[in-house]
A and B are shown apart, each in its own frame.
Chain A
Amino acid sequence: MSESILQIRDLTVTFATPLGPLVAVRGVDLDVGAGELVAVVGESGSGKSVSFLAAMGLLPSTATVQGSVMLDGVQLVGASAKQMRSVRGRLLSMIFQDPLSALNPVHRIGAQISEMLRAHQKMSERAARARAVELLEVVGIPQPGDRAMQYPHEFSGGMRQRVVIAMAIANSPKVLIADEPTTALDVTVQAQILEVIQKVQKQFGTAVVLITHDLGVVARVCDRVNVMYAGRFVERAAVSDLFDAPTHPYTRGLLASLPQAGKERLVPIVGFPPNMLRPPSGCAFRARCADAISDCEHAVPELRAVGAAQSACIRAAELMQPR
């Protein structure tokens, strides 16, 4: 991997809740190389969104963020609100599942994009409007000049997500975080949006972190995968290695549970993810793991190299041997 543009170290996020502190993200490390497309996958509640909302400085005041998030040499943890406003949209952008939440219903699409441009760049109103139309074209909106004059409600779900991507890349950020950007869309539209994201990555060299729980999407577009479970990364690997030779029992479980042509019977992962208010000692997956041994209760396993991948299973190497 080339030098990393986004470097996360020991990121921990704790929410104050009426039931006590909830540690949603537990010491996460991540490196994203310039222009890379990496995936973050994991079950609902595993901490995918919270990790990156923390990086964006978008968590509510009940959250305490510890650790380090370096973006192109700038420390984001502990940065002031003013500093974060200057970073968001310029260096780091994030898009979400629901594009409507990112759009202002009473402003024209073109005006919203040019406002985004002028917030970070010295630009005349006219130049910004022209650039907005260009951006709409980049994300594949037909008749971008006319569409720029319309309002969000005049756009379909897929078209809105394109607009949100146009806004997110308006100021050529180094990193784009896409949090389940296609989950609410139909598959034919999902395919279009994934193409737009890949185009942005290739054409502008934007690094993309794609958060998803769809392993099919990962297989289609990502270079590297980070698998999250109960607030930690438990495996990271190149996409082909992950599917060919998963190193963590949770990853193996995920793959076994997927319906695929020719598969006779699905194998669910037994049990449920742990309650994050009272997580178990040791490996958080052990209660659901058929390969757990008593050692799994003791220390929280760190990510360690297993072949070309990294795995947080103390038995990874042993279990990878053909049995």
Chain B
Amino acid sequence: MTQPEITTPVVTPAAGGALLSVRGLVKQFQMKAVRGMTGRKRVVQAVSDVSFDVAPGETLGLVGESGSGKTTVGRCVLRLIEPTAGQVMFEGVDLAKLSFEELRVVRRRMQIVFQDPYASLDPKMTVGASIAEPLVVQGVGGDHNEKVVSLLELVGLSADHARRFPHEFSGGQRQRIGVARALALDPALIVLDEPVSALDVSIQAGVVNLFNDLQARLGMSYIFIAHDLSVVRHTADRVAVMYLGKIMEIGDAETVYEHPTHPYTKALLSAVPLPNPRVERSRSRIMLEGDVPSPVNPPSGCRFRTRCWKATDLCAMQEPVLEVRSHGQLSACHHPEE
């Protein structure tokens, strides 16, 4: 296996110091050799040299098309999977240097909420037991019932929901139960992985509001992973745009949405259908050709170049690094829009 090349990480420093610092994160998956392919191992470059900070109380949105590595970043941050290389610092501590026991304690402070409210709850457990489970696992003493009730109320459900089972709840309610569970240990960081994608828009709005309200009250940070760019714009303070395992552009969310400098960001934003017929019918659209290339053999140089209308020979030869643009965000492009 070739050693992944780590460039000097450039990040936008989070104001007031970072809660989470990710530097040069790499995750490769070994794939079993396919029959007839003479035993050669294939390596999926799921995340390649990703660096970012998350400040206390901040929401970092992670957007990008399917397979761009968003979930893998989230899982590496929580150390649900072992990164291939790179550093994850949480509250000033390098997670790789912790013993198993120390990691278990730190994990209390980091939680994850998944996309599928149906799959993420144990159907045989009452809602109350599901919410209390992290407390039990972490050996937290005291009256769990009281805590469960306050958590249910926090997410807009009521005390008598505790005795019921997941199948008695709608998608939006189940997602609230998942959030209550994630909140049980007072986390400082919650990774929200497509938390509203499975919900109807009318229900989605309530869950999005819940995330915003909880953050205003409790001050935790979120990594908000979604492919719906409009939802991310609504929730995120900063946003990172990923493509084939790399961050293409990162910065203040309004800035990135209003003044995208990476051609991929521009194309992605122009592809998003907006619920406004006048805007939709008058704006010019960038049509990207083809599909995302395979992460097993990503293009040389800039990974986006095979679909980029601005690509030149330079883009194939030299990989662009993240650089500061005039509106303050960073983007990795040899021919940025300014």
Interface residues of A (CB under 8 A from B): 43-44, 142, 156-159, 186-192, 194-195, 213-220, 239-240, 243, 253-261, 263, 265-269, 272
Contact = CB atoms under 8 A, between A and B. Distances in A.
Contacts of A254: 201-202
A20 B100 CA distance: 54
Given A219-B276, A266-B234, A272-B170, A187 B201 contact: no
Contacts of A217: 273
A195 B275 contact: no
B274 interface: yes
A216 B276 CA distance: 7
Contacts of A240: 277-278
Interface string B72-95: 000000000000000000000000
B271 A216 contact: no
Given A43-B200, A220-B273, A266-B234, 16 more contacts: A187-B273, A191-B287, A191-B288, A194-B273, A213-B201, A216-B274, A220-B277, A257-B205, A258-B230, A259-B205, A259-B231, A259-B234, A260-B276, A263-B234, A268-B203, A272-B203
A-side interface mostly: helix
B-side interface mostly: helix
Nearest to B213: A265
Interface string B286-325: 0110111000000000000000000000000000000000
B42 interface: no
A216 B205 contact: no
Interface of B: 65-66, 170, 172, 200-206, 208-209, 227, 229-231, 233-234, 257, 267-268, 270-281, 285, 287-288, 290-292
Contact of B229 (A187, A191, A256): A187
A309 to B, nearest CB: 14
Contacts, number: 113
A215 B276 CA distance: 8
Given A254-B201, A265-B209, A243 B271 contact: no
Nearest to A222: B277
23 contacts: A43-B200, A142-B290, A187-B271, A187-B273, A190-B273, A191-B270, A191-B271, A216-B274, A219-B274, A219-B279, A220-B277, A243-B276, A257-B201, A259-B208, A259-B231, A260-B230, A263-B234, A266-B205, A266-B208, A267-B205, A268-B202, A268-B203, A272-B170
B310 to A, nearest CB: 16
B292 A243 contact: no
Contacts of B285: 191
A261 B280 contact: no
A220 B274 CA distance: 8
Contacts of A213: 200-201
A255 B234 contact: no
Contact of A257 (B170, B202, B233, B279): B202
Nearest to A255: B275
Given A188-B267, A190-B271, A215-B275, A268 B291 contact: no
A255 to B, nearest CB: 7
A272 to B, nearest CB: 5
A43 B272 contact: no
B275 A258 contact: yes
B13 to A, nearest CB: 27
